[in-house]
Chains A and B, each alone.
Chain A
């Protein structure tokens, strides 16, 4: 069994004012191994953030469950660190105190000195040495997000959950922080689950990319294995021919195939408990199945006439 196991997750938002209930996603299954970096990609409204919140214990699924380390996730826990989309730093605390707040929550019995030195380690790790006493308002967007990352790493959680952490950053800053995240994750062997909209970011960071179809009734349509070596780097990645194969596969999914699941196409052969695992570039290109079943069905109908 995987380190993290998600089984039959479903979320329904009750319809307001007599409208029908909205099923955001249904029958979602996937697993994450220890030390694995998993990204989830999908269009807005497919329920990515809800899945992350369920893993964080901040939201309850309508049905289904998530099991981490053989224990069901029933609420928020220090075992799972969260980096929020909007950094969520306390503006009245300095950088140091923001991180020390988390460290003190994790180890309440520690002395002030130990809390400080532990926090300092993680401030140094994200390259914010010297900014310890600044308030978040005095930091740039990228620096704020670094503090958020340091805070999540500082409690040394079993799993890290990142909700589009770089979405609000400019491309240059994003690149730098991505590189740093790669380094930190490789050094700490941290298990990570991350939401992103950025295909390149997913290829750079993830070992495994979950592709979610569009909502409502979203599903994990495919699991893409990253077939590039783990030592990949942002500035050399695009020289690897595998890179474009993976990238094209992901982009094709986002622009074309992500819509089809919603309409019921491709559903016949689809087993939600075992979404197809694909390795772009390492397997013969799959036949253009996109519209094939529907066409075939149409032909069958024609023959009968």
Chain B
């Protein structure tokens, strides 16, 4: 039954896809009568008359996708690298910033969650810092760090840290009193209590924070790379926009979406691993 439902949903998804592609195709059909001035302009720009309108057609996009996938890792200088290499740069930055945020947020969240005093003392800072757009940190990062690539990593760090910190603190603070009482009556030492009682108890909440963080980090890296430039999928988008190559821009958007989905999927799996039923 569930399988049949899944099949129905997949079929419907396919219908939507075909419909959207059809709509796109019709909307980008070459116009019947292009004006003479536009023809002149097109010739001047060195483009064929077939390309009447700027917006790419689905067929063009398909060809571009095939092209990129055929050779994802080529490197022909600073402004012409394969999509795989650009993605690699972005993912490496996200990984570095995200791991650094984890190393700070989870232990700190543990402390805050254990100590109501510390929680109250740090809460105003968290509340003020949390809503700041990560990109607003960019000038300060560039000024102090001076390296644009590291500044990108810093921006990822600063945007990933809050959901992880808050969720860890909340998860640790909300561990059921019963379990702590059990640990107490068994005279469990603090280290063992932290790793065998509190951490597993808070793990689902912590992982929820981590999942939110990775989502935000992936959103932010594109914007950050557009600003700092050089490498990465964000820079690729910006570069192709400057080349007025919308086909490549659309292709990059698709890639960003798919990678974001895969990252989220990965964390959803992790989340399922640590979730327990009470």
Contacts and interface: CB of A to CB of B under 8 A. Distances in A.
B185 A91 contact: no
Between B185, B192, B274, the greatest number of chain A beta carbons within 10 A of the residue's beta carbon is seen for B185
Contact of B185 (A76, A86, A92, A137): A76
Contacts of B196: 101
Interface string B12-55: 00000000000000000000000000000000000000000000
B5 interface: no
Nearest to A90: B179
Contacts of B274: 92
B200 A88 contact: no
A88 B186 contact: no
B252 to A, nearest CB: 41
A81 B182 CA distance: 9
A105 interface: yes
A56 B275 CA distance: 31
A155 interface: yes
B206 to A, nearest CB: 13
B143 interface: no
B153 interface: no
A135 B277 contact: yes
Given A92-B200, A92-B201, A92-B276, A102 B178 contact: no
Contact of B182 (A80, A84, A92): A84
A-side interface mostly? loop
A58 B184 contact: yes
Interface string A73-86: 00011101110101
A272 interface: no
A43 interface: no
B200 to A, nearest CB: 4
Contacts of A84: 178, 181-182
B197 interface: yes
Q: Could you say which interface size class chain B belongs to? A: 20 to 34
A77 B178 contact: no
B181 A105 contact: no
Interface in B190-208: 192, 196-197, 200-201, 203
Contacts of B200: 90, 92
A249 interface: no
Nearest to A80: B185
Given A137-B277, A137-B278, A57 B185 contact: yes
A34 interface: no
B39 to A, nearest CB: 71
B278 A102 contact: no
A81 B274 CA distance: 29
B271 to A, nearest CB: 14
A86 B178 contact: yes
A141 B199 CA distance: 25
Nearest to A151: B182
A140 to B, nearest CB: 14
B186 A58 contact: no
A76 B184 contact: yes
B198 to A, nearest CB: 11
B188 interface: yes
A78 B186 contact: yes
A17 B237 CA distance: 61
Contacts of A155: 186
A88 B178 contact: yes
Given A90-B197, A92-B200, A137 B181 contact: no
B276 A135 contact: yes
Nearest to B188: A105
Contact of B181 (A82, A91, A102): A82
A256 B5 CA distance: 63
A88 B179 contact: yes
B273 to A, nearest CB: 11
A136 B197 CA distance: 15
Interface string B49-83: 00000000000000000000000000000000000
B120 to A, nearest CB: 19
A86 B274 CA distance: 22
Contact of A81 (B176, B184, B185, B203): B185
B181 A78 contact: no
Nearest to A101: B196
Contacts of A86: 178
Interface of B: 176, 178-179, 181-182, 184-188, 192, 196-197, 200-201, 203, 274, 276-278
Given A91-B277, A105-B187, 10 more contacts: A58-B184, A58-B185, A77-B187, A88-B176, A90-B197, A90-B201, A91-B278, A92-B200, A92-B274, A135-B277
Which 10 pairs between the two chains have the least Cβ-Cβ distance?
A88-B178, A137-B277, A105-B186, A91-B276, A76-B184, A92-B200, A92-B276, A76-B185, A82-B185, A91-B278
Interface of A: 56-58, 76-78, 80-82, 84, 86, 88, 90-92, 101-102, 105-106, 135-137, 155
7 contacts: A88-B178, A91-B277, A92-B200, A101-B186, A101-B196, A106-B186, A135-B276
